[in-house]
Structure 1
Amino acid sequence: MTKDIQQQLTQRLGDLAQRELRLGDMADGELRDAIERLLDREAAGQYLSVDQRVEVVGDVYARFRGFGPLDAILKDESITEIMVNGPKHVFVERRGRLMQLDRTFEDEDQLLQVIRRIVRQAGREVTQSNPIVDTRLPDGSRVNVVLQPIALNGPILTIRKFSREPMTIAKLIEYGSITPEIAAFLEKLVKARYNIFISGGTGSGKTTFLNAVSNYIPKDERVITIEDSAELTIEGVENLVTMETRNATASAENAAITIRDLIRSSLRMRPDRIIVGEVRGGEALDMLQAMNTGHDGSLSTGHANSAEDMLSRLETMVLQGSEGLPLPAIRQQISSALDIIVHLGRMRDRTRKTLMIAEVLGIDHAAGVIQLNPLYQFQEDRVRSSLDHVEGRLMRTGDPMRGTMKLEMAGFSADV
C-alpha cells in the first residue's frame, strides 16, 4: 500500500470511528479493538504490512485519545525538538539538524484538538484571547503554543523533548562538555553553597546542565524549584518543593501567578536553596535579593551570548523589575549575589560545549562594569577541528580564584 493510499485509509477510518463509535463511553483498549475491526472491514482485499497496520491503527487512535501525528514523533528518541507550523508543516531537530517530516495533521481543527489536549493535561487554557501558553508534557518536555491571530500561518506548536533519563555529570563528562577535574570543582562549589548562574543561547543546554549540577545538592537540604513549566528532575532530595507559574485564564477565574510571586512565596517556606529555572525579566531582582539575604547555594539560568553579556542582561532585567533603582546599586546587587557564571554555547557543528566558568568579582568603578575572573575557558584545537567538527576542551586559565572563603568555611581546599 502506498503512502498516499494509507493516508486516505487513515482519514476514512477516523471519520467512520467518529460517526459509528460511542467514543466517550469506550475504554482505551475497547477503542483500539474497535478501530482494528473497522480496518479489517475497510481494507478487505488490500495488502497492509504489519508495520502499516500498526501505524494506521495508532494514527486513528491518536486522533481521539493521543496527540495525533505527534505520537510516533514523540516516541522517537533521536528527535530533540518538534516544530509544527500549521497543520501541514511539521519539522523536527534530529542530532542537531532540522528536517521536515511527511507526517501532517488532517486540518487545522485536528491540530487545535491536539494542542488543547496537551494544554489541558497541565491544567492550563489556550484561547484566542489567551493565545500564548507555555506548558509541559507529562514526561517533562517543554511546550510552547501560539495561536491565531498572533500566529499568521496557523496554530504553532513547539516541543522541546527531554531525555527519559535525567542528565548527570557523568553524562556531561562522557559527551565532552566538561572534564572530571571540572566536575569535581563544580561539586565543591555546589556543596560550599556558591550562587551559580548558568548562561547560554537558545538550545545550548542550560536546563540540562542545571539539572545535572543540582544533583550535587546535599540530600538532607530543603530545596525549592521555581519554573515556568516544571522540567527539573532532582533525585534523592526528600524535602523538595516544586512550583510552576500559572497563566491567567480568559474567563478571569484564575489570576496569573508569576515567577516573582513564587520567589517571594518561597522565602517564607524556609528554603535551604532556591532554584529558578530561568529568569527573563523583573524576577531577576527578586532572585538576586534572595541570594543576598541568606539563601546561598541558589542556582538559575538565563539567555545570553557570553558571560559578560549575561551581567549586562541582568542589569536590564532588574531595571524591568524596579525602574527607580540607580545603576550602581543594581551592579552592587548583582556582584554581591552571584559567585560563579557558567557559560554554555552551541558550536558550529551543533554540539553543546561549556565555554567558560568565571568568578564574579566586584565592580570596576572606572570602567563602570562588573569584573569577571575566568577560571576555565574553552580552547579549540584548530589542527583537529574542521568546518563540520569542533575539537577542543575546557582549560584552566592562569588566574587564581579569589573568592575562596565559602570553600574554606565548608572544609574544602582553596586550591583551584
Structure 2
Amino acid sequence: MSLADRLRAAQDAAAAEAAAAAAAAAVAGVPEVETIDAGLPAADAVETVPVVDAAPPAPLAPPAPAVQPAPIVPVVPAAAVQPPLPPAPVAPSHRRAPEETPGAEVANLATRRAAVGGADKFAELKAAVHSEMLKQLGPQLYEADVPSEELGAKVRATLKDVLAAQDRPLSTADRAQVTKEITDDILGYGPIEALLADPEVTEVMVNGPQMVFVERAGKLTKTPVQFDDDQHLRRIIDKIVSRIGRRVDESSPMVDARLPDGSRVNAVIPPLAIDGSALTIRKFATDPFTVQDLISFGSLSQRTADFLEACVRGKLNIIVSGSTGAGKTTTLNVLSSFIPNDERIVTIEDAAELQLKQEHVVRLESRPPNIEGKGAITIRDLVKNSLRMRPDRIVVGEVRDASALDMLQAMNTGHDGSITTLHSNGPRDTLARMETLVLMAGMDLPIRAIREQVASAVDVIVHQARLRDGSRRITHVTEVERMEGDIITLQDIFVYDHSRGFDADGKSLGGLRSTGLRPKFLEKMEHANVRVDPLVFARDGVA
C-alpha cells in the first residue's frame, strides 16, 4: 500500500472516531474535544504530522469532506476549536427542537393551553351545576305564585349546596362567577341580565349567540357579552315569551312579547334567522318619562308641550308618527298622561307597553294563533270590541294593518280624543300610509272616500324623528285641515329648525319653531272648554 493510501485510510478512521466521540458528548451534554491519534508506526507518524498540526497545510484539509459520507462530520483540528463546541453541527434535529423555541413563546403557549382547558372545565362545571339545580328545584322555578324574593333565596341556597358537593376545586372568584351566571340564567335573562339592568342602555340587540349590541344615547356599540351557543339563547327567548303565554318554534319562528316592566321584545329563530336566533329588546323605564323629562331631553319645548296638553284635553284625535326607534311610544305615553282622570280609557296593543297612570284604564292585548293556527285575536278585532266597552278614549299602541279603517271609524263615531301611532317619514306620508292601511281591509273604497274619512277623523299629526346625533326630537306638529279637491291640506304649527346646525360635539342645536299660523281646530277645542293662549303661536324664533 502506498504512503498516500495509508494516509487516506488513517484520516478516514480518525474522522469516524472523532464523529462518534462528538456525538456521544453532545448526547451527554458535555463538549468533547479529541486529538487525532491514528496509531501508526513511527515512520508513518512522521509522515502524518501535517494532519494533526495546529496549522495544517491547505492542500490536505479539503480532501477529507470530499470523500466522507454525508452523516460523517468533517475533522476539526484541535488547535482550531475553541471550547465549548457549539452543539448545532453535531446534535440531531429532534434534540435541538426545545432549544429553538423561545422561552416566552413556550410560556405563552402553555398559558393559552391552560386557559383553553380552564375555560372548557369552567363551561362543563357550569353546565353540570345548572343541570343539578334544575333537578333539585324542578317545577318550583316556574310556579307563578312564588314570590321572586323567595324563589331567589331558594336558588341561591340550592346553588351553594350544589357547588359545595362538586369535587372540582374553585377559587373564590370562579365560585362567584359561576354563581352569578347560573343565577342570571335561572332567575334572570342570562348574559344580557346586566345590560337590561343598565339604566343607560335603551335597546339590546342580539344577532346570534356570539354578537350582542346595545344602544346608548342613540348610538350603537358592540359588547363583549356572549351566549354559550344558540341553544342557550333559545332558552332565554323561550323563558321570555312563555311568561306571557306565547311561543316560538320552527312552526312559528317569529314572536312579539314583552318583559314584566313593559319592555318590548321581538325574537326570530332559525330557519328565518340564518346566523342564529335574533333577539331585540327595547327597554322602557320602570318610571315612565314625563313631559318635563322630554323637555329636558330637548325632544320638545315648553310651549309645544303646553299646546299638546291643550289638544289632548280638548279631545282632538292625534296620530304620533315617525320611524322605528324615534320615540313614538314614549310620546304616546306622555300624551296619554294628559287625559283627565274622570274618563274611561281603553288601550289596545300587540304587546302591552303603555304605562298610563290614570285609574280607569282597561288594557287589551292581541293574541297570536295557537299551534293549530287558530284562536288569533287581532288589533282590528279589539278595536271593534272596544266600541262596545263605553270608552271615552281609545288609545291604540300602533296601527299597522287593516285596523286603520276601524280606528278611523272609531274617531268618526263620537270617540273624540283617540290617540295612536303609525310608522311614516313625515306628516304627508302619514296620510298616504293611512290610506294604504285602510285599503288593506279589503273594502273596495274609492280613494276620495278614504281621504274624506281621514280628513274628518284626524286633527293633529305629531311627527317624531331620531336625528344624526342620536337624539329623538319632535319635528312637526301639523294640523290636518280639510279636503281641497282630491288633496288633504296640512298646516304646520310647529316645525323643527335645522338651520342652526350642530355643535363641536355633533349635538343638534335646533329646536321647535312656531310658524305663526293659528290652527282651525281652536273652535273645536273651545267646545270642550279648552282655550289656548294666542301667544303660543307667536313667531319669536325657536320655541
TM-score exceeds 0.5: yes
Q: Classify the secondary structure of the residue corresponding to 2:483.
A: strand
Partner of 1:317: 437
Amino acid in the other structure paired with 2:445: L
Deviations 1:285-339 (A, max 9, x none): 1000100000000000011111111111111111111340100000001000000
Return the alpha-carbon distance in structure 1 between the equivalents of residues 423 and 383 of structure 2. Answer: 19
Partner of 1:241: 362
**How many Å apart are 1:54 and its aligned residue?**
4.3
The worse-fitting range, judged by mean Cα deviation, of 52-61 and 153-162 is: 52-61
Q: TM-score, normalised by structure 2?
A: 0.71
Partner of 2:126: 13
Q: Classify the secondary structure of the residue corresponding to 1:22.
A: helix
**Equivalent residue runs for 1:293-308 within 5 Å:** 293-308=413-428
Partner of 1:260: 380
Q: Classify the secondary structure of the residue corresponding to 1:321.
A: coil
Q: State whether residues 129 and 163 of structure 2, in contact with CA within 8 Å, keep that contact through their aligned partners in structure 1.
A: no
Q: State whether residues 481 and 491 of structure 2, in contact with CA within 8 Å, keep that contact through their aligned partners in structure 1.
A: yes
Amino acid in the other structure paired with 2:296: E
Q: State whether residues 346 and 364 of structure 2, in contact with CA within 8 Å, keep that contact through their aligned partners in structure 1.
A: yes
Q: State whether residues 132 and 162 of structure 2, in contact with CA within 8 Å, keep that contact through their aligned partners in structure 1.
A: no
Deviations 1:356-396 (A, max 9, x none): 1010011231xx32111100001125365458221111011
Q: State whether residues 477 and 493 of structure 2, in contact with CA within 8 Å, keep that contact through their aligned partners in structure 1.
A: yes
1:24 to 100, 119, 138: 138
Amino acid in the other structure paired with 1:316: T
Q: Percent of aligned pairs with the same residue? A: 42
Residues 1:42 and 1:396: Cα distance change in structure 2 (over 3 Å) = farther
Partner of 1:402: 520
Q: CA RMSD in A?
A: 2.2
Return the alpha-carbon distance in structure 2 between the equivalents of residues 259 and 8 of structure 1. Answer: 50
1:279 to 396, 399, 405: 399
Partner of 2:334: 212
Instruction: Give the helix-richer structure, 1 or 2.
Output: 2
Residues 1:7 and 1:165: Cα distance change in structure 2 (over 3 Å) = farther
Q: TM-score, normalised by structure 1?
A: 0.92
**How many Å apart are 1:55 and its aligned residue?**
4.2
More relative contact order, 1 or 2 (CA 8 Å, 6+ apart): 1
Q: State whether residues 241 and 247 of structure 2, in contact with CA within 8 Å, keep that contact through their aligned partners in structure 1.
A: yes
**Equivalent residue runs for 1:166-181 within 5 Å:** 166-181=288-303
2:349 to 227, 231, 245: 227
Q: State whether residues 358 and 376 of structure 1, in contact with CA within 8 Å, keep that contact through their aligned partners in structure 2.
A: yes
2:178 to 52, 56, 66: 56
Amino acid in the other structure paired with 1:22: Q
Return the alpha-carbon distance in structure 2 between the equivalents of residues 25 and 402 of structure 1. Answer: 62
Q: State whether residues 220 and 239 of structure 1, in contact with CA within 8 Å, keep that contact through their aligned partners in structure 2.
A: yes
Return the alpha-carbon distance in structure 2 between the equivalents of residues 356 and 25 of structure 1. Answer: 52
Amino acid in the other structure paired with 1:129: S
**How many Å apart are 1:74 and its aligned residue?**
1.2
Deviations 1:256-285 (A, max 9, x none): 100000000000000000000001111111
Residues 1:214 and 1:53: Cα distance change in structure 2 (over 3 Å) = farther
Residues 1:329 and 1:107: Cα distance change in structure 2 (over 3 Å) = same
Amino acid in the other structure paired with 2:208: G
**Equivalent residue runs for 1:153-168 within 5 Å:** 153-168=275-290
Amino acid in the other structure paired with 1:143: V
Unpaired runs of 5+ residues, structure 2, are 1-110, 141-150, 538-543
Partner of 2:171: 46
**How many Å apart are 1:213 and its aligned residue?**
1.0
Residues 1:363 and 1:75: Cα distance change in structure 2 (over 3 Å) = same
Q: Classify the secondary structure of the residue corresponding to 1:69.
A: helix
Return the alpha-carbon distance in structure 2 between the equivalents of residues 395 and 411 of structure 1. Answer: 27
Aligned residue pairs: how many? 409
**How many Å apart are 1:243 and its aligned residue?**
0.5
Return the alpha-carbon distance in structure 2 between the equivalents of residues 313 and 241 of structure 1. Answer: 28
Amino acid in the other structure paired with 1:24: G
Larger Rg: 2
Q: Classify the secondary structure of the residue corresponding to 1:355.
A: strand
Q: State whether residues 292 and 337 of structure 1, in contact with CA within 8 Å, keep that contact through their aligned partners in structure 2.
A: yes
Instruction: Give the strand-richer structure, 1 or 2.
Output: 1
**How many Å apart are 1:45 and its aligned residue?**
6.0
Return the alpha-carbon distance in structure 2 between the equivalents of residues 45 and 382 of structure 1. Answer: 60
**How many Å apart are 1:33 and its aligned residue?**
2.4
Partner of 1:251: 372
Q: Classify the secondary structure of the residue corresponding to 1:242.
A: strand
Partner of 2:479: 359
Return the alpha-carbon distance in structure 2 between the equivalents of residues 6 and 219 of structure 1. Answer: 57
Residues 1:36 and 1:19: Cα distance change in structure 2 (over 3 Å) = closer
Deviations 1:141-160 (A, max 9, x none): 00011121111112111111
